[in-house]
């Protein structure tokens, strides 16, 4: 049994933390931003006042918060994780944040004699609950081996990609692929419906061919039924695409299709849909077309 600090028990974090509990690990939670989930407390988690106290109690400290500034705050605030570290503890950031900032954060954590892994995930709320997340990891191989039983409690496809920052780079690449696939499915269903075909039947036909994909299967059905409760929110996917586009600028490369998809997400945001599931990208396309595939 490991002593694990878990900071960030939201839509993704809470079921991930619950799976660690089911695997027999002891959890310590920080209440610096609000009460810890009662379900985790009832299952044996200990609530503490600050990330510093969590780091003092735990061997592994997992962070699962929305964006780069929140990770920086949790780690380096006055009563943050860094203030409670001692040698050989392991900080694991499972948020999806800037690869460049990740390298800086890792260096600062290493100065305390602790190790750092960036380990963003893919698989959404469904994967978090089922313990089937894909986990993309950057860090030292020996640190990865120490933390592997924790990852195995939360995910299935677990890959050490490379050094610090490489896990975040892999996650940004993942988000590019997911976003562009969502846009491809949305455009295809919009084209079919506008042309008079039943989008549900078109989707059914495409599922048997080379166009078949998990996005077509899961998000295609969401688009047809109009079930856009998150899931994974548009504003969070926009954050990830901003990381991609900022990184592309640093690297001197062009990501035209990523930029185009980001613009459609921006249309959804303008319609008040920042908290819609990212499959609701189709609503941005429908708005531009003045046509809905669900109103035939």
pLDDT digits (tens, 9 = 90+) for 179-194: 999 999 999 999 999 9
Residue 176 and residue 116: Cα distance in Å, rounded? 25
pLDDT (mean) for 257-265: 98
Buried b (16+ CB within 10 A) or exposed e, 18-53: bbbbebebbbbbbebeeebbeebeeeebbbbebbbb
Q: Which residues contact 214 (CB under 8 A, 6 or more apart)?
A: none
Q: Which pTM does this prediction carry? A: 0.92
- 148 inside domain: yes
- 114 inside domain: yes
Q: With contact defined as beta carbons under 8 Å apart, do 16 and 128 qualify?
A: yes
> Are both 74 and 179 inside the same structural domain?
no
Length of the chain: 296
pLDDT (mean) for 103-121: 98
- 296 inside domain: no
The rounded mean pLDDT for the chain is 97
Beta bridge mates, 47 = 29
- 210 inside domain: yes
Alpha helices (H) along 111-233: 124-130, 141-154, 166-194, 199-206, 214, 220-225
Respond yes or no on whether the N-terminal peptide bond of residue 25 is cis (omega within 30° of 0).
no
In the listed set 161, 191, 225, which residue is the last one of a domain according to the structure?
161
Inter-axis angle of helices 256-270 and 166-194, nearest 10: 70
Query: Residue 141 region, left (φ>0) first, then alpha (ψ -120 to 50), else beta?
Result: alpha
> Are both 144 and 176 inside the same structural domain?
no
For 274, the 3-state DSSP assignment is coil
% of the chain exceeding 90 in pLDDT: 96
- Helix (H) or strand (E) segment spanning residue 92: strand 90-93
> Are both 5 and 121 inside the same structural domain?
yes
Question: Two tokens at 224?
Answer: 């047809």
In the listed set 161, 177, 202, which residue is the last one of a domain according to the structure?
161
CATH, residue 239: 1.10.1040.10
- 206 inside domain: yes
Buried b (16+ CB within 10 A) or exposed e, 194-217: eeeeebbebbeebeeeeeeeebbe
* Domain count within the chain: 2
- The residue range of the domain holding 8 is 1-161
- Helix (H) or strand (E) segment spanning residue 118: strand 115-118
> Are both 61 and 85 inside the same structural domain?
yes
> Are both 173 and 106 inside the same structural domain?
no
- DSSP at 77: S
For the chain, the C-alpha Rg in angstroms (whole number) is: 20
> Are both 208 and 279 inside the same structural domain?
yes
> Are both 124 and 178 inside the same structural domain?
no
> Are both 136 and 179 inside the same structural domain?
no
- 51 inside domain: yes
Q: Which residues are catalytic?
A: 171
> Are both 219 and 107 inside the same structural domain?
no
Residue 84 and residue 246: Cα distance in Å, rounded? 32
Grade residue 224 by pLDDT with cuts at 50, 70 and 90: very high
In the listed set 137, 161, 185, which residue is the last one of a domain according to the structure?
161
Q: Is the pLDDT of residue 296 over 80?
A: no
> Are both 185 and 113 inside the same structural domain?
no
């Amino acid at each position: 049994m490991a002593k694990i600090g878990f900071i960030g028990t939201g839509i993704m974090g809470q079921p991930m933390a619950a799976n660690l509990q089911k695997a027999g690990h002891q959890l310590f939670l920080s209440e610096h931003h609000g009460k810890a989930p009662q379900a985790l407390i009832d299952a044996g988690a200990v609530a503490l006042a600050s990330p510093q106290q969590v780091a003092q109690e735990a061997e592994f400290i997992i962070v699962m918060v929305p964006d780069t500034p929140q990770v920086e705050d949790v780690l380096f605030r006055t009563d943050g994780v860094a203030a409670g570290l001692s040698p050989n503890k392991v900080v694991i950031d499972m948020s999806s944040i800037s690869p460049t900032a990740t390298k800086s954060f890792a260096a600062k954590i290493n100065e305390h004699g602790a190790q750092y892994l960036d380990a963003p995930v893919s698989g959404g709320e469904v994967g978090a609950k089922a313990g089937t997340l894909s986990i993309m990891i950057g860090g030292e191989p020996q640190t990865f081996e120490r933390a592997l039983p924790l990852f195995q409690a939360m995910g299935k496809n677990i890959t050490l990609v490379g050094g610090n920052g490489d896990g975040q780079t892999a996650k940004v690449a993942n988000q590019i692929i997911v976003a562009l696939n969502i846009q491809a499915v949305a455009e295809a269903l919009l084209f079919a419906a506008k042309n008079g075909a039943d989008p549900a039947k078109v989707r059914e036909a495409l599922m048997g061919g080379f166009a078949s994909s998990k996005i077509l299967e899961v998000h295609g059905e969401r688009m047809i039924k109009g079930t856009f409760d998150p899931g994974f929110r548009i504003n969070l996917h926009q954050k990830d695409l901003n990381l991609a586009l900022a990184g592309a600028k640093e690297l001197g490369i062009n990501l035209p299709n990523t930029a185009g998809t980001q613009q459609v997400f921006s249309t959804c945001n303008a319609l008040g849909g920042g908290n819609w599931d990212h499959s609701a990208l189709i609503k941005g396309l429908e708005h531009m077309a003045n046509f809905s595939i669900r109103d035939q």
